[in-house]
Amino acid sequence: MLIIAHRLASVIDSDRILVMDKAYGVEFDHPFKLLADNENDEEITKTTEEGKQGYFAAMVKAAGEDTAKQLFSIAKEKY
């Protein structure tokens, strides 16, 4: 099933997420792996090889602290 969504809550429990930027796929993985560098992480820690915050991680953080914590928790539970 392919879901195109603007609401993060609509896709946070998906098996895989493809993050697009300017018509290019920039990230593809399980939501939790797009949010955390380590499976033991308890908060959003994902960074790119260049040391920048991941695209999906930045989107989740931009949703606000409480929402980001809820989304992170759902992603970790589903992982």
- Among 26, 25, 2, 27, which residue's Cα sits nearest to residue 14? 2
In a domain, residue 55? The reply is: yes
In a domain, residue 3? The reply is: no
Confidence of residue 28 (pLDDT cuts 50, 70, 90): very high
Please say whether the beta carbons of 19 and 34 come within 8 A: yes
In a domain, residue 19? The reply is: yes
In the chain, the number of structural domains is: 1
Q: Does residue 49 surpass a pLDDT of 80?
A: no
Boundaries of domain holding 69: 8-78
In a domain, residue 17? The reply is: yes
In a domain, residue 31? The reply is: yes
Give residue-wise pLDDT tens across range 64-74. Answer: 999 999 999 99
Spatial neighbors of 70 by CB under 8 A, at least 6 apart, are none
Q: Does residue 59 surpass a pLDDT of 80?
A: yes
In a domain, residue 67? The reply is: yes
pTM: 0.90
Q: Does residue 61 surpass a pLDDT of 90?
A: yes
Provide the 3-class DSSP secondary structure of residue 60. Answer: helix
In a domain, residue 20? The reply is: yes
In sequence order, the β-bridge partners of residue 41 are: none
In a domain, residue 15? The reply is: yes
